[in-house]
Amino acid sequence: MKRIYVVGTADTKGEELAYLADTIAAAGARVARVDVGTRAPTVAVDFAASDVASHHPAGADAVLSINDRGAAVAAMGEAFERFMIGRTDIDGVIGIGGGGGTSIVTRGMRALPLGIPKVMVSTLASGDVSPYVDVSDIVMFPSVTDFAGLNRLSRVILHNAAQTIAGMANAPAPVQAGKAAIGLTMFGVTTPCVTAIAARLRQSADCMVFHATGTGGRSMEKLVDSGLISGVIDITTTEVCDLLLGGALPATEDRFGAIARTGAPCVVSVGALDMVNFWAPETIPPNYRGRNFYKHNPNVTLMRTTARECRQIGAWIAGRLNRCHGDVRLLIPERGVSALDIEGGPFFDPEADAALFDALDETLEKTARRRIERLPCHINDLEFASAAVAAFHSIAQA
């Protein structure tokens, strides 16, 4: 039977761990107490630290015999991640911890599919939690006080967290059946294009649109890897610009990796490859001073990519697409790649666009399943949206 995994370091947080587990059980849920500490536990658990540590590639001793605390936390985090992968008896996961415990528990949570309830009660929850949440769906609960024995406030916080995870597990979201899920990437400057594509597809598909801000592309690809998205219309690949040129919203080196691993049908384009994102003007690196900038708002400044940079970007994208062995269609809108890259617009630069398009065309290894098509229109023209939909239908039904 499935259970809610209650996870923490039973050597230092035993009292809180036991209280949390008992409160969840009182709410009518089955629980499994998991110890991720590195010393002797102070309360009874269902999975001992040695059970978790045994999943480390080098064995339990590589975790439990380490005297350096930082190294032990990192090793236990790796072991817990492997412990969680592939488990089929999880209704939800809730963890408690300070800095070390939060690092360990959230690493295991991030390895689970999206949609499985995940709650982390942490002393770090009121700060920058991006290293712990990343592109997962972890809910962070501030503990307010430290975990140093129960008190009148910590009992309330843990009780509320217990009710939250129990409610999630006892009343799961209904499964949406029927339509296939399709991922789309969008930026403000490609909104007309992606909106038109989604409107044409919604009768037959569940359209999931991701904001191309670095985490957006990664979230979409995590869903592809998880099998929750069956195809992609990756119109807005601008995160690559920030990766290669030091912008504020970068992709990772694994961009397009999920497409290569899964063979999911994919339509790709060049949306917003005319720009690199920075925050306020004072954050722009000195070596970029004097370039063509556009002030999107007081906190976001866009920099036009040059012809040399566009050649680099195009070659990088095509190189990644060459690793994909499923059906890929690369569409090039020859009259502009964003709302700013249009005749009369602040980023209109036909020379830079031509360098981008030529690099893509020259680097892409064409096959029966990997093709490129140049279209005499702007990316936000309805003609381009129609072509993208037609291209996707042709490979999704293949």
pLDDT reported for residue 398: 57
Of 170, 191, 207, the domain-final residue? 170
229 and 304 in one domain?
Answer: yes
Task: Kindly give the residue spans of alpha helices, DSSP state H, lying in 93-228.
Answer: 99-110, 130-133, 152-170, 191-201, 215-225
Residue 376's CB: how many other CB atoms inside 10 A? 10
> What's the pTM value of the predicted model, to 2 decimals?
0.88
Query: What one-character DSSP code corresponds to residue 135?
Result: T
The backbone torsions φ and ψ at residue 277, rounded to the nearest 5 degrees and listed phi first, read -95, 130
Give me the helices (H) in the chain, please: 14-26, 49-53, 61-64, 69-84, 99-110, 130-133, 152-170, 191-201, 215-225, 239-245, 257-262, 307-321, 350-363, 382-396
267 falls within a domain: yes
108 and 238 in a single domain? The answer is no
Looking at the structure, tell me whether residues 389 and 301 fall in a common domain. Answer: yes
CATH number for the domain including 326?
3.40.50.12030
Among 263, 252, 301, residue whose Cα is nearest residue 279: 301
Give the model confidence (pLDDT) of 161-217 as tens digits: 999 999 999 999 887 777 899 999 999 999 999 999 999 999 999 999 999 999 999
Domain for residue 164, yes or no? yes
Note whether 242 and 319 are same-domain residues. yes
DSSP string, 331-352: EEETT-SSSSSSTTSTT--HHH
Instruction: Count how many domains the chain has.
Output: 2
Q: Please, what is the Cα angle at 76 between 75 and 79, to 5 degrees?
A: 90
Q: Is residue 322 part of a domain?
A: yes
Nearest to 121 by CA among 253, 55, 23, 189: 23
Task: Please provide the average confidence, as pLDDT, over all residues in the chain.
Answer: 96
Shared-domain flag, residues 141 and 38: yes
Q: Do 143 and 197 reside in the same domain of the chain?
A: no
* CA 303 – CA 338 distance, rounded (Å): 13
Domain boundary pick from 170, 190, 210? 170
Which residue range is the domain that position 36 belongs to? 3-170
Q: What is the pLDDT of residues 7-44, one digit of tens each?
A: 999 999 999 999 999 999 999 999 999 999 999 999 99
Domain boundary among 170, 202, 219: 170
Distance, in Å, from the CA atom of 216 to the CA atom of 274, rounded to the nearest integer, reads 18
Those residues of the chain that have pLDDT short of 70 are: 398
Contact 242, 249 (CB under 8 A): yes
